[in-house]
Chains A and B, each alone.
Chain A
Amino acid sequence: MSKVVVVTSGKGGVGKTTSTAAIGAALAQSGEKVVVVDFDVGLRNLDLVMGAERRVVFDLINVIQGDAKLHQALIRDKRIETLSILPASQTRDKDALTSDGVAKVIAELREKFDWILCDSPAGIERGPAMAMHHADIAIVVTNPEVSSVRDSDRIIGLLDSKTERAQRGERVEKHLLITRYDPVRAARGDMLKVEDVLDILSIPLLGIIPESQEVLKASNVGVPVTLNNPETAPARAYQDAVRRLRGEKLEMSIPQERRSLVERLFGRRVA
């Protein structure tokens, strides 16, 4: 049974695209057939983060409008055989996402892949609504910060009322992914605590991704952080999140950067 997962947040800049790429790559590495779909029509980014920007010929809107077949628009990842990307159009706007067209594409993707990861645009308008509509599972990406948490709360409300599952009287399975978590600032009380975020949103926690330069580095070179350097703290956090997404029970921990003895002795003072 294939699963449609929407990666969403309400607020922009919290890490939806980074997380879609990292989770998609980690899932595909475990042998699952995965496609990551960019729903951010007009502001596409997923192709860059995945390093596929120079291979885009057709896109989601071409497929919806019947200008191209799905297999023509799908780009197969060069590093992992079971990973594909369906890019968004950069030149159209979100009105080009018709309900029927999206439904047809999702149905076709369900036949080919085990996991369909939809990277939602920010906001609560047509784009995000289309990205979440067919979801079986939602990964709600949140920064430990009040505005992000409130926007995520709004999105959870929409997941419970506007999606196809909600309209059938079923529930979308929801998971919380906390990104850009900084243990030092959290200890100082500069950031919302994980417990507070969980208390407000009250959905199960999928993972906590620590704030890290590695995330920026990886996206600059167009490689999902889980592939770029699998030993880094954010990569390990995403790998744990993926194992939980696949149903494993793992204890929650926030991976830390591994430091050498020298770094441990001197690193903190320099920073």
Chain B
Amino acid sequence: MQIRVRGRSFMAFVVTPEAPLALWLEALRAQSARAPGFFAGRPVIVDCSLLKADTPGVATLLNELETLGLGVIDVENAADIPGADPWKRPLTGGRPGGLVEIKPSEAAKVEPPPSAPGLIVEDNVRSGQSILFPKGDVTVLGSVSSGAEVLAGGSIHIYGALRGRALAGAQGFAKARIFCRKLEAELVSIDGFYQTAEDMDAALRGAAAHIWLEAGRIMIAAQR
């Protein structure tokens, strides 16, 4: 029987950890929090050329990377790195690529929040109050005051005036939208992109508004 072998090419990411490892891991954690899903489904090669056998934390490094969700497929320049052997595979012939920027927009792969019943807030959201609902949409029947904020994984609907902050798609959902009956917001944000009151078109102030994200830009339109 003839076994057929087909080729498929992936781009692997190469990370080069450096000492102190605790700081490096912290930075990586912060970056992947900003762009959740960035490493999902990507092969990762760990280049240990900047590490020594006695760098603190080196023994647990590879396990830490796995728990952070990095799919390590190979370890390079790791002749004297303890505990790296199980990950070593003799991969050769890769073509070096350029730097890959970890952009929050790469998080677009994140699943839209499940359409579970959203959160309904019957009252005004008062100054200093914060409504956090990462699981889905938030509907506010009253107004959102200056100094208050609503943070939703999905879209935000405000039947009163929006005078505070509304942050929709807060976990990396670019299709989230914000609707309000009266736009006097201090800040609106979708998927990490934001616009402050200062940058909003003055003609839109006080209007019923629909806010969405288009190619990384916050778009606001008045509704009749």
Give the interface of A toward B (CB within 8 A): 124, 146, 150-151, 153-154, 156-158, 160-161, 199-200, 202
Q: Which of B123, B126, B143 contacts A154 (CB 8 A)?
A: B126
Residue of A nearest to B184 (CB): A200
Q: Is B177 an interface residue (CB 8 A)?
A: no
Query: Is B143's CB under 8 angstroms from A157's CB?
Result: no
Our pick among B128, B161, B163 for the contact of A157 (Cβ within 8 Å) is B128
Shortest CB distance A239–B (Å): 30
**Which partner residue on chain A sits nearest B145 by CB separation?**
A153
When chains A and B are docked, how far (Å) is the Cα of A95 from the Cα of B93?
71
> How many angstroms from the CA of A200 to the CA of B145 in the assembled complex?
7
**Given A153-B126, A154-B126, A157-B127, residue A199 in contact with residue B146 (CB < 8 A):** no
Q: Cβ of B142 and Cβ of A153 under 8 Å apart?
A: no
Say whether chain B's binding surface is mostly helix, strand, loop, or mixed: loop
Q: How far is the CB of B159 from chain A (nearest CB, A)?
A: 12
Residues of A within 8 A of B163 (CB): 200
| Chain B: interface residue total (CB-CB under 8 A) | 14
In the complex, A226 Cα to B163 Cα: how many Å?
Answer: 37
Whole-angstrom distance from the CB of A98 to the nearest CB of chain B?
25
Q: Please give, as numbers and ranges, the residues of chain B lying within 8 Å of A153 by CB-CB distance.
A: 126-128, 145-148
Does residue B32 face the partner (Cβ distance < 8 Å to A)? no
In the complex, what residues of B have CB within 8 A of residue A199's CB?
161
| 28 pairs of residues in contact across A and B, judged by CB atoms under 8 Å | A124-B128, A146-B146, A150-B146, A150-B147, A153-B126, A153-B127, A153-B145, A153-B146, A153-B147, A153-B148, A154-B127, A154-B147, A156-B124, A157-B126, A157-B127, A157-B148, A160-B123, A160-B126, A161-B129, A199-B161, A200-B143, A200-B145, A200-B146, A200-B161, A200-B163, A202-B124, A202-B142, A202-B143
Q: Which of B139-187 contact A (CB under 8 A)?
A: 142-143, 145-148, 161, 163
Complex Cα distance A156/B127, Å? Answer: 9
Q: Which residues of chain B are near A200, meaning CB under 8 Å?
A: 143, 145-146, 161, 163
Report A202 CB to chain B, min CB distance, Å: 6
Q: Cα distance A98–B161 when bound, in Å?
A: 39
CA distance A39 to B23 in the complex (A): 49
A161's nearest neighbour on chain B, judged by CB, is B129
In whole angstroms, what is the CA distance A99 to B143 when docked? Answer: 33
Q: Are B127 and A150 in contact, with the CB atoms below 8 A? A: yes
Quote the shortest CB–CB distance from A151 to chain B (angstroms). Answer: 7
In the complex, chain B residues whose CB is within 8 Å of the CB of A156: 124, 126
Closest to B126 in A: A157
Find residues 179-199 in chain B having any chain A CB closer than 8 Å to their own CB. none
Please give, as numbers and ranges, the residues of chain B lying within 8 Å of A151 by CB-CB distance: 127
When distances are taken between beta carbons in the complex, the residues of chain B under 8 Å from A202 are 124, 142-143
Taken together as a complex, chains A and B put the C-alpha atoms of A157 and B142 apart, in Å, by 13
Once the chains are docked, how many angstroms separate the CA of A158 from the CA of B145? 14
Minimal beta-carbon separation of B149 from chain A (angstroms): 12
Residue of B nearest to A153 (CB): B127
- Bound form: Cα–Cα A158–B128 in Å: 9
A124 to B145, CA, bound (A): 17
Residues from chain B with a CB closer than 8 A to the CB of A146 are: 146
Measured in the bound complex, the distance between the Cα atoms of B55 and A147 in whole Å is 54
Task: State A83–B128 Cα separation when bound (angstroms).
Answer: 36
Q: How far is B145's CA from A153's CA once the two chains are assembled, in angstroms? A: 7
Given contacts A157-B128, A158-B128, A200-B143, 19 further A-B contacts (CB under 8 A): A146-B146, A150-B127, A150-B145, A150-B146, A150-B147, A153-B126, A153-B147, A154-B126, A154-B128, A156-B124, A156-B126, A157-B126, A157-B129, A160-B126, A161-B129, A199-B161, A200-B145, A202-B124, A202-B142
A154 to B149, CA, bound (A): 12
